[in-house]
Structure formats: C-alpha cells, structure tokens
C-alpha cells in the first residue's frame, strides 16, 4: 500500500476547485470572498452594497471590538445611573473636563446614543450574517456528500493499493468503516463519498446565535431591571413598595405599579463574628440576618437566614445582605422630664472596625424651658469597642460590641426639614441651629457609656444612651430579568466556539475500480477545510481498516517474454 500526504509539491496542494469540481466546494457556510463590486447607479445598489458590508463577518468582529472598547468608560468614569453623588463630585473637581464628558454621554455610557448605535448595528449585523448561513447549513445537512473528483491524486491526503477483492466488496467495506467512524457516507458511481465534522459549522452558528441571545438578554435586563437599598434595624421590617426604599433606580420600561414583587420581611436578628486575634484580627467571619418573610398580602410567614452571597429569592427578586452597623438606643426628654423621642438610631460605619457616625433628630414634641416649640439635633459618634479613657481618640479597636461609647454634640432650633428640600438623615444641617453651650461657653459635647445621660443646660432636657445597642443590616433588593438567558447564552457561546475551533470539517472518498489486468485498484483521498496534520493520519487509520477487509494483492509475476525488452525503453516508460 503506497501513500502520499500533505507534503506534496506546491502545485499539488493548491488544487483549484475547478479541478475538484463539487468535491472541492466550500466546507463552511462562510460567504465567499469576492472582489468589491460597487454599484454604478441607483439607491438600491448602494443599499445592497451597504447591507453586504454590514452583514459581513469582518464588520461584525469590528463592531464587537468597538462595543468592548465603548464599555471601558463605563467602568472607569462614574455613572449617573449608579451613583449621582460621585458624578457630581467629578463635575466639581474637573470644571473643564466634566462638561465635555457630559456632552459626550460618558456619565451614562450604556444609555448613550453612540453606545446604542454600536449595539444595534452589531445586533443587525449578526442577524444578517447568521440567517443566510443557517439556511445554507440546513441545505448542507439535507444534501449528500459530493461525489469523488476524477483525479484523487491531487488531494492533499492520498493512498492507493491493489486488491483481489471485488470493487463492490471494497465499497461495502468502506461504507461500514466510515459509518463506524460517524461519517455520513453513500455510494456515488464507482466511489464511496463521506463527510464528517458538521458540528464545526453548527458550533459556529451556535456561537453567533448565543451572542444575539446575550445582546437581547442584556437589553432586556437594562430596560426592565430594578435595584433598591434599604437599611433595617433589628425588629423592624420592609414591604416591597417604592416608598419603603432608601434609594431606588430602575430601567426605562420598569413599572413600579406592576413589576414590583409583592412581598415583605422583618429583620429578627443580626449576627456577625470576627477573627479575635492574629494578623487577621477583626476580619469578618460570618454575617447572618435572620428574617421572616411572606409573599403577597395573605402569604404564609416563613423563616430564612440571609448570608453574604446567599440572597433570599422571591420570584424574580433577590434580597442581598450588603452591609451592617450599629444603632444605639437613645431617649430624649424635655425640661419637664417628658419623653419626646426614644428609639434606635442607625449610624454609618466609617472604617473596618465600625467606627460610626450619624445624626439624631428630634422633630416634634419638644418644648424648651420657655415652653416654645423647637427641634433638637445631635451629632453622634459611636465606637463599639472603646480603647479606654486616656488611651486614644474615639476610634474603635474591634468591630464587635465589646466596650461601646457614644459621643454627642447638641443643637437646638430649626432642623430645616420643613423647607421641602430633601436632607440626608445621617447628617445634621446646622445652618439654622444654635449650639448648646457648656460652662466654658463651648459647644456642649459629651462621651457616654451605656446607661449614662447628658444633661442639656438651663433645664432644656436630657439625652440618655440606653444600655441596649441594636444592630442594623443593609439589604439590596434587585430584579434583573434576562440574567438566566445571558448566562445560558454565555455557556452556549463558549461551547460553540470550542466546537468551531477544535472540530475539523473533512471529506473522504474511496474509489474501487477493476484495473486492466483484472485486479481491483483502491484509491482513498481526503480533503479538509484547512490543511491539518491530522488529516493524513486519519486517512491512514481509515485506509488500514479498509485494507483489512480488502488486503493487498500479491505483486504480478513478471512476463518472461519481456526479459529481452530494451531496458532503456522501460526506463523511458517509467519516467513518463
């Protein structure tokens, strides 16, 4: 059995499709590369030319690259849809650059005109590219492998031998061998034609279809998403209505009247543990929020523990645990000893040891020593673990509640909450407030341990730091439709890309014809979509299996009558 492989001469490896006929037709659904043919006249001609360019794979890859570049500013520059405060701070710091960014839409990249244009063009390009390729691939699946070309020797992988078996027996053996190797095979004239590797094109189409699914899922998620945050103190609850959120943002097509999931939950207890010693001292070990929740107006109450990265799932909504802190309980009394305010005041952490700050605001019910209605305000500074008197400043030494202290500074007057201008509940606006003075004429400040009271001057009242300190948990309630489709599209895209990269489309032909001397001549040849070192190896394996069923015939016995022939004539014949 003699063989030749891809190490043939350049002329042999560059066999044209004209020489191979249908056997050399495209082994993919990619459009043929053609010379530019610009229309000479007419709007329709230009539209067709533009459509061909837009739906080419080259333009699709270029648009995909531009989309990835366009997403970079959205990661580096503050986005108005995520944090308006950071955008405003950026504008204040960059008086020249800020307005330019604003005009270019860099503060809202994903909803800008230019990002949407790239997105839509990519979407159209992929659809325009995939639809014709899909129909072409379906046609390939429905058709049979093309018949063998006349000269199999011109193919990149080739082998031949002579056998005593009948041509029909060779073809039957070839059909069995190729079918066992999952080739689609049939007999065409005097040869068996087989093809394999259709999953390469299927993977290519799946990859591009998956990109479309991901684009649709991304657009759907951006248009119908919602995201809100709520801080809840132990013992308090939350109902999923727009008025209950501390802050809320949603997509353009999200309806707060119809799309919010009807549920509610109460925070029963929050538990946090920390590393007590070593180099990781103070590092959080566990954060757990025990809640009871119900779905709908008459839903059955259920219990659940929410942990970091283990959200509570209710319908399409997810409730994530994102933060925590402390809420010292304080009691405020007026000059007559009447309680005008009592409750847990949540304070915001400022460092990893939960050193916290905030404000206590008494809006109603307070009268000063003269009987005049006023409002009280206190700047509050809290540490869960105080170092001790004379051992440092008001900075917490550990995040757990070991030795709490509450530092207060007192004001009275108008808090400005009735002006109609929104205020930060954790900050105190002192523009219209008057300081309470101590005996030295300075701002009245005091550091309290649990159970201690700060007396306001001139019989104005008092504020007591109760022995109870509650904890609060910050929750993020999100609704992100399309995320499951996006994940499925990403997985399918990876699988399709792997198939298109590692599966080779190839064709094999086995021709068996009776020679002039009555002995069957078997020829086998293979053709791949691209040159591959595995094609000759695979052809050799297939040829070995067919050869086992149709072994080589013994070499013919030389004819004695040819002994007197002129050797030069034989040599000349060999050269020809």
Is residue 232 a contact partner of residue 270, using CB atoms and an 8 Å limit? no
Residue 576 to residue 558: CA distance in whole angstroms: 20
CA-wise closest residue to 148 among 125, 176, 177, 171: 171
DSSP string of 542-565, one letter each residue: HHHHHHHHSPBPPPPPPPGGGTTS
| Per-residue pLDDT reduced to its tens digit, 230-266 | 999 999 999 999 999 998 888 888 888 888 999 999 9
What was the pLDDT predicted at 568? 47
Q: Which helix (H) or strand (E) holds 486?
A: helix 483-502
Is residue 272 a contact partner of residue 305, using CB atoms and an 8 Å limit? no
What was the pLDDT predicted at 33? 52
Is residue 74 a contact partner of residue 110, using CB atoms and an 8 Å limit? yes
Token reading at 275:
């590393």
What was the pLDDT predicted at 542? 94
What was the pLDDT predicted at 24? 63
CA-wise closest residue to 526 among 514, 539, 513, 516: 539
Query: Between vectors from CA 315 to CA 313 and to CA 317, what angle results, nearest 5°?
Result: 60
How far does CA 186 lie from the centroid of its chain?
Answer: 45
What was the pLDDT predicted at 560? 61
What was the pLDDT predicted at 355? 95
Partners of residue 342 on adjacent β-strands: 331
Per-residue pLDDT of the chain (576 residues; tens, 9 = 90+): 544 444 443 444 444 445 566 666 666 666 555 555 544 557 888 888 888 888 887 888 888 899 889 889 888 888 876 677 788 888 888 888 989 998 988 888 887 888 888 988 888 888 888 888 888 888 888 888 889 998 999 998 999 999 999 999 999 999 999 999 999 999 998 999 999 988 888 898 899 899 889 888 988 888 888 999 999 999 999 999 999 999 888 888 888 888 899 999 999 999 999 999 989 999 999 999 999 999 987 889 999 999 998 999 998 899 999 999 999 999 999 989 999 999 999 999 999 999 999 999 999 889 888 888 999 999 999 999 998 877 767 899 999 999 999 999 999 999 887 766 667 888 998 888 999 999 889 999 999 999 999 999 988 999 999 999 999 999 999 998 888 899 999 999 999 999 888 888 889 999 999 988 889 999 999 998 766 678 889 999 999 999 999 999 887 666 666 555 454 444 443 433
CB atoms within 10 A of CB 264: 19
The CA R_g of the chain, rounded to the nearest whole Å, is 40
Q: Which helix (H) or strand (E) holds 454?
A: strand 453-456
What was the pLDDT predicted at 495? 94
């Amino acid at each position: 059995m003699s063989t030749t492989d891809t190490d043939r001469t350049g002329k042999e490896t560059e066999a044209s499709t004209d020489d191979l006929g249908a056997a050399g037709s495209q082994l993919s659904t990619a459009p043929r590369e053609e010379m530019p043919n610009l229309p000479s006249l007419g709007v329709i001609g230009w539209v067709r030319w533009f459509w061909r360019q837009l739906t080419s794979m080259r333009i699709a890859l270029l648009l995909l690259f531009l989309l990835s570049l366009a997403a970079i500013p959205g990661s580096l520059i503050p986005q108005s849809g995520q944090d308006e405060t950071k955008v405003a701070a950026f504008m204040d710091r960059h008086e020249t650059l800020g307005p330019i960014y604003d005009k270019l839409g860099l503060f809202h990249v994903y909803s800008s005109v230019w990002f949407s244009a790239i997105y839509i063009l990519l979407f159209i390009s992929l659809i325009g590219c995939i639809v014709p390729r899909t129909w072409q691939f379906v046609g390939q699946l429905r058709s049979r492998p093309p018949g063998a070309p006349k000269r199999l020797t011109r193919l990149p992988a080739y082998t031949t031998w002579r056998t005593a078996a009948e041509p029909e027996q060779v073809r039957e053996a070839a059909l069995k061998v190729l079918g066992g190797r999952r080739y689609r095979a049939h007999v065409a004239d005097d040869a068996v034609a087989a093809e394999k590797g259709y999953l390469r094109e299927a993977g290519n189409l799946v990859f591009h279809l998956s990109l479309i699914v991901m684009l649709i899922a991304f657009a759907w998620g951006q248009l119908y998403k919602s995201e809100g945050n709520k801080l809840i103190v132990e013992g308090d609850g939350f109902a999923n209505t727009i008025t209950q959120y501390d802050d809320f943002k949603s997509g353009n097509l999200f309806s707060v009247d119809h799309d919010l999931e009807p549920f509610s939950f109460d925070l029963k207890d929050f538990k946090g543990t920390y590393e007590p010693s070593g180099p990781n001292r103070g590092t959080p070990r566990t954060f757990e929020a025990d809640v009871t929740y119900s779905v709908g107006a008459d839903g059955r109450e259920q219990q659940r523990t929410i942990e970091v990265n283990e959200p509570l799932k209710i319908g399409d909504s997810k409730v994530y645990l994102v933060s925590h802190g402390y809420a010292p309980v304080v009691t405020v009394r007026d000059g007559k000893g009447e309680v005008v305010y009592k409750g847990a005041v949540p304070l915001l952490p400022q460092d990893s040891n939960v050193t916290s700050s905030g404000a206590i605001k008494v809006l109603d019910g307070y009268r000063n020593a003269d009987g005049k209605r006023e409002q009280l305000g206190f700047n509050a500074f809290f540490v869960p673990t105080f170092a001790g008197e004379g051992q440092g400043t008001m900075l917490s030494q550990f995040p757990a509640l070991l030795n709490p202290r509450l530092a207060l500074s007192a004001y009275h007057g108008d808090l400005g909450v009735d002006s109609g201008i929104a205020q930060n509940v954790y900050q105190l606006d002192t523009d219209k407030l008057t300081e309470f003075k101590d005996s030295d004429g300075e701002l009245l400040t005091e550091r309290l341990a649990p159970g201690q009271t700060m007396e306001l001057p001139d019989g104005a009242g008092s504020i007591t730091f109760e022995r109870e300190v509650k904890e609060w948990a910050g929750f993020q309630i999100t609704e992100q439709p399309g995320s499951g489709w996006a994940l499925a599209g990403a997985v399918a895209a990876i699988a399709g890309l792997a198939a298109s990269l590692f599966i080779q489309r190839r064709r094999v032909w086995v021709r068996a014809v009776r020679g002039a001397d009555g002995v069957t001549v078997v020829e086998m040849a293979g053709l791949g979509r691209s040159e591959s070192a595995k094609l000759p190896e695979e052809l050799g394996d297939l040829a070995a299996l067919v050869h086992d069923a149709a072994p080589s015939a013994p070499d013919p016995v030389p004819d004695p009558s040819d002994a007197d022939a002129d050797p030069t004539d034989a040599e000349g014949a060999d050269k020809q």
